[in-house]
Amino acid sequence: MTDLTVGAVAARTGLTVRTLHHYDHIGLLSPSGRTDAGYRLYTQSDIRRLETIALLRNLGLSLTEVATAVDRDPDLLVPLLEQHRERVQAKLEDARRMVARLDHVAERLRTHSPRSGDDALDTIRIVTTFEQYFREDQIEAIRAHARELGGEYIREVEAEWPRLIAAVRQEMHLGTDPGDERVLALARRWRELVDEFVNGRFDIAAGAGRMLAAEPAVRQRTGLDDDVMEYVARAAASLR
């Protein structure tokens, strides 16, 4: 009489016919009747049940959880919702972190404009390595500071570093005394650049130290091997 066929129910509820078939198949909602030809017939009661199911689905509960709350024990609904909230909250956090990471990568890609896909891969490696040695808030601080300094300036500094390191290495190989004025000048500039990067955050300095100590790849890429570091350290010591 007032019974509805699948298509009608689908149109009314916004679900698909396939979804109704599925619910029937897993026993979550089987229509109360069938026509002689085997057409599913949904009663008003079936439809009310379906609306409850859709309601809980819309809150993100799984079909199993919906079945539990609707059939097994309605009192489980509230704990199921609480537990579900925690899950979604966790996913939210994951997504937030992921977006932050992707933004970090994107930012570095913008300031360094990679010349190839492999270059981009290296950028990702660098960012990922950074994440091992700095907490999220530290990375945020570093990024914020970098934005303040500006992409232009960052590129200049990043171009200066290899020259500075090469100059130090040369003096070291020449056997120049670390207290010599030429080395002191280099060490002074070195300290300026480090201070600027660290920006008063000793924890960030410590993270950078740990990264250099633990990552041979970083030492090699930058040329900051133990010898050079020690040589500069000795020069810096006499800077006071």
Partner DNA sequence: TTGCTCCTCACGTCACGTGAGGTGGC
Question: In whole angstroms, how close is the CB of 143 to its own copies at the nearest point?
Answer: 16
Q: Which does 22 bind (CB under 5 to 8 A by kind): DNA, its own copies, none?
A: DNA
Residue with tokens 């949904």: 42
Applying the rule CB under 8 A, the residues between 104 and 123 that interact with its own copies are 105-106, 109, 114, 116-118, 120-121
**Measuring CA to CA, which residue among 90, 218, 224 is closest to residue 161?**
224
43 binds its own copies (CB under 8 A): no
Q: Report in angstroms the alpha-carbon separations of 25 from 52, 81, 201, 227.
A: 18, 25, 61, 71
Of 124-132, 172-180, 198-206, 212-220, the window that binds its own copies (rule: CB under 8 A) is 124-132
- 240, HSE (Cβ side, Cα atoms, 13 Å): 0
Helices (H) and strands (E) in the chain, counts: 12, 2
Interface residues with DNA (CB under 7 A)?
5-8, 10, 16-19, 21-22, 35-40, 57, 62-64
238 binds its own copies (CB under 8 A): no
Question: In whole angstroms, how close is the CB of 158 to its own copies at the nearest point?
Answer: 20
- 179 within 8 A of 235, measured Cβ to Cβ: yes
Token pair of 226, please? Answer: 């133990």
Binding residues (CB under 8 A) for its own copies: these are 52, 55-56, 58-60, 69, 73-78, 81-82, 84-85, 88-89, 91-92, 95-96, 98-99, 101-103, 105-106, 109, 114, 116-118, 120-121, 124-125, 128
